[in-house]
């Protein structure tokens, strides 16, 4: 088959539980473990991570956090060496986009927004999702808590340890104060990855406010000034 320039593509239909991203990912992993070795590409359904009909739950910060953690779990436990396509959603400039995610091994290699959104009869995707962008090179930042040291920081995409390599054209801010721990730090930008994994980190605006504010944690050190952040990025 390969000598004639064909590849084998599998279509999967896992059992989806609405609004339960981690449960859905675990079902997907069961399928990935059972795939024939001659399969090159497997395609999961649209919005497979959350389920298609979440409705206004797509606006929930908690669901978005659980969705990204579930995708991270998929990447960390993916047994399949071929290409995996599945549906989920992302925030970009305060707009939600229904997207196809492209994964190989433990790396997210593409995020493609849906171009045509149905809005008739039982379909009302334009209520929740924005129309197609030219492409998504970075994901919206959202606030999260680092359970290890109680620091508040803006969590990038799916932890960004060499998953998405361009961070451009964002307004990144954090004004949170951890009142239960005065020694906590509030980062505008936080990355646990070595700076060398990023292709670009530029054209961003950074804002950190309050008594616990730190501009960034990058390349394993706190960066208190923009000059320090720029220097570590070379």
Q: How far apart (Å, rounded) are the C-alpha atoms in residues 131 and 105? A: 29
Q: How far apart (Å, rounded) are the C-alpha atoms in residues 184 and 170? A: 24
Q: What is the mean pLDDT of residues 209-220?
A: 85
Tell me if 96 sits within 8 A of 117, measured CB to CB.
no
* Number of CB atoms found within 10 A of residue 49's CB: 25
150 has pLDDT over 80: no
Q: How far apart (Å, rounded) are the C-alpha atoms in residues 63 and 50? A: 8
Q: Which CATH number fits domain 2-127: 3.30.420.40, 3.40.50.150, 3.40.50.2300, 3.60.110.10?
A: 3.60.110.10
Q: How far apart (Å, rounded) are the C-alpha atoms in residues 170 and 206? A: 8
Is 101 in a helix, a strand, or coil? strand
pLDDT at 175 (0 to 100): 74
**What's the pLDDT tens digit per position in 169-207?**
667 777 777 777 788 888 888 777 777 766 667 777 888
pLDDT at 142 (0 to 100): 34
CATH 3.60.110.10 boundaries in the chain: 2-127
pTM for the model stands at: 0.59
Q: How far apart (Å, rounded) are the C-alpha atoms in residues 63 and 51? A: 11
Is 175 in a helix, a strand, or coil? coil
104 has pLDDT over 70: yes
Poorest-confidence range of 7-16, 136-145, 169-178?
136-145
Poorest-confidence range of 50-54, 67-71, 115-119?
115-119
**What's the pLDDT tens digit per position in 56-66?**
899 888 898 89
């Amino acid at each position: 088959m390969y000598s004639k320039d064909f590849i084998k593509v599998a279509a999967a239909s896992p059992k989806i539980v609405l609004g339960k991203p981690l449960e859905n990912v675990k079902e997907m992993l069961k399928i990935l473990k059972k795939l024939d070795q001659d399969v090159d590409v497997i395609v999961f359904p649209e919005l497979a991570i959350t389920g298609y009909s979440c409705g206004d739950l797509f606006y929930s910060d908690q669901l978005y956090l659980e969705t990204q953690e579930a995708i991270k779990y998929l990447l960390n436990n993916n047994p399949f060496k071929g290409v995996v396509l599945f549906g989920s959603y992302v925030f970009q400039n305060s707009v939600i986009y229904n997207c196809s995610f492209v994964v190989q091994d433990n790396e997210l290699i593409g995020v493609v927004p849906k171009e045509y959104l149905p809005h008739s009869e039982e379909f009302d995707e334009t209520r929740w999702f924005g129309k197609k962008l030219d492409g998504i090179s970075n994901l919206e930042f959202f606030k999260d808590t680092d359970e290890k040291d109680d620091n508040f920081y803006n969590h990038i995409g799916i932890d960004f340890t060499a998953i998405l390599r361009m961070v451009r054209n964002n307004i990144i801010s954090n004004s949170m104060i951890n009142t239960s721990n005065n020694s906590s730090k509030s980062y505008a930008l936080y990355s646990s990855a070595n700076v060398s994994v990023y292709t670009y980190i530029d054209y961003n605006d950074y804002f950190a406010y309050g008594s616990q504010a730190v501009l960034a944690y990058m390349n394993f050190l706190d960066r208190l000034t923009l000059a320090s952040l720029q220097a570590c990025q070379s």
